[in-house]
Chains A and B, each alone.
Chain A
Amino acid sequence: MSAAAEAAASPPGVLRAPLVVEFPFTRSLGPVQSAFLTGLRERVVLGVRTTAGQVMVPPVEYDPVTAEEIRELVQVATTGTVTTWAWNDHPRPNQPLDSPFAWALVRLDGADTALLHALDAPGPDAVRTGMRVRIRWAAQRTGAITDIACFEPHEGPADPQGAPHDGAFAEPVTGIVAEARLDYTYSPGRAQTAYINALSERRTVGERCPSCHKVYVPPRGACPTCGVATTDRVEVGPAGTVTTYCVVNIKARNLDIEVPYVYAHIALDGADLALHGRIGGIPYDQVRMGLRVEPVWTEGGRYPDHYRPTGEPDADYDAYKELI
């Protein structure tokens, strides 16, 4: 099924935006994992002997039963037997093959456990549990599980296997970078949708708690004190009071603002929660608690670019002390 077919229609009027989450973790390898993945680069498959004497492929650093450190490496064959399989007619992004293939658990000759990978076969009728397969190596190998491009059917004899191996290779792989990207569609929900829609008209709309009567800006739909839905929409601001602030001296990546600048908590008039924003139009060392500010919008901006002084007298401390 395509991704489009999996996603049912969304109600009209709901705001949606793409949200991409990427997390390229850099992971270090233990000695057994390092030998295994370096071996794949060199077209050698290594297993590890467990405390009970089984040869485990892919190998791990610690015995899965006793948790003892296990280090005795054994070379196993690049040929093996399918122990179970599943035909995948619709390969998904990043999977080993782009055209239909079988997922398979393969017990390599000389191993006692099975390895998961793709099996390239003409169709499901060509795959069965117990069939013989061998590794098809990737042309470019870096020391990763993907150095095995996939398995392929194999009628010939088993490779030699069972020889002890010291796991030593020139230029061993000591880490992997695990790339990952997930694509989401973000929808903000009822309260934040109203907030965002009002911002597009350069208005700031909060929501009042029906129980404690606090006005939350931006609203998230619930009063965190009372645990009830905030329902009454309340327009606040546009002006407000700086309740506290900090001076930023480190330039952020992708942010074209000269340092130092002031980032502040701003209680908009009528709001019971301060939001945050940058203060401009005043030297950074003259910003103070109680400063009265108003939003500055830029052409096409979806939210205030920054806040600047209104020129009014500073607010009394008592007027905002509960909002710090």
Chain B
Amino acid sequence: MDQNDYRSVPVNPEEVTPKEVYLSRRKFLKGMGMVGLGALLASCAPAISTVNESPASTEDLREALTSYDAITNYVNYYEFTTNKEGVAELAQDFVTEPWSVELSGLVENPRRFSLDELRTNFEQEERIYRMRCVEGWSMVIPWLGFPLHKLLAAVKPTPQARYVAFETALVPEQMNAAESGMFPFPYREGLRLDEAEHDLTLLATGLYGEDLPPQNGAPIRLVVPWKYGFKSSKSLVRITLVENQPPTLWNTVAPQEYGFFANVNPGVDHPRWSQATERRIGESGRRATLFMNGYAEEVMPLYEGMDLTLNY
């Protein structure tokens, strides 16, 4: 893959999928439901393409964009509910203004950035990324945002800093399931500093050219396209530079299933979901999961000499 393939151009409104197109995709999706039912009831196998080829370049990805409707209505945001299609409604009144993100820890210039500063001090660009959930489904999402390394450069990590810890907002009075006791919130995630500084690692403030809706992690979230979706924390309030590997929610809850690295890897299996193949939302059948979610060329230098089976 060409180095420039993932570096997206600044948003050009004409390039964003027009509403009619994603509405027609929604219709297509409805159609799929019927096809599936037929298959189920008749127990006969229609010609389902089982493993589709994955597009490699950004141009192909543009063709393959998941509909706005699906991206914003099929999400995991457990602080609201574990029902993926119930999040949008429950999160609609989530207050995202005023908002600020605190950058602290092992940095020379610790400071708090207001949302306005994050939106105006850093040039926002569109990046079309694959998103692969550890549950075995995937999407292609046109994010709007800026690379995290630009923000890190502004606060200057000290030489001791080796990891970056991310904390998601915890507002129990606005998040229905935040205090259900099912999970130890606030949601925490972490990256190694070199992963955080990789140009693919994005702080997203929008998608499809619009501000992020609450259910997708408004007003600002992390996007790490070569890792399983749970690494991409939503609604960030704190980014801390630390010396040791920070605790993360899923790694704490079930360490045998969710490693710290969580790189998309069809060769390392999860005990419950297939990691060899995935269901692309909006498609029928399955497609092969790409090593590092298709970003191996860009990110493999980060893992030189590491056993990815042990460091899953």
- The finding on whether chains A and B are genuine partners in a shared complex, rather than unrelated, reads no
User: Which A residues fall within an 8 A CB radius of B?
Assistant: none
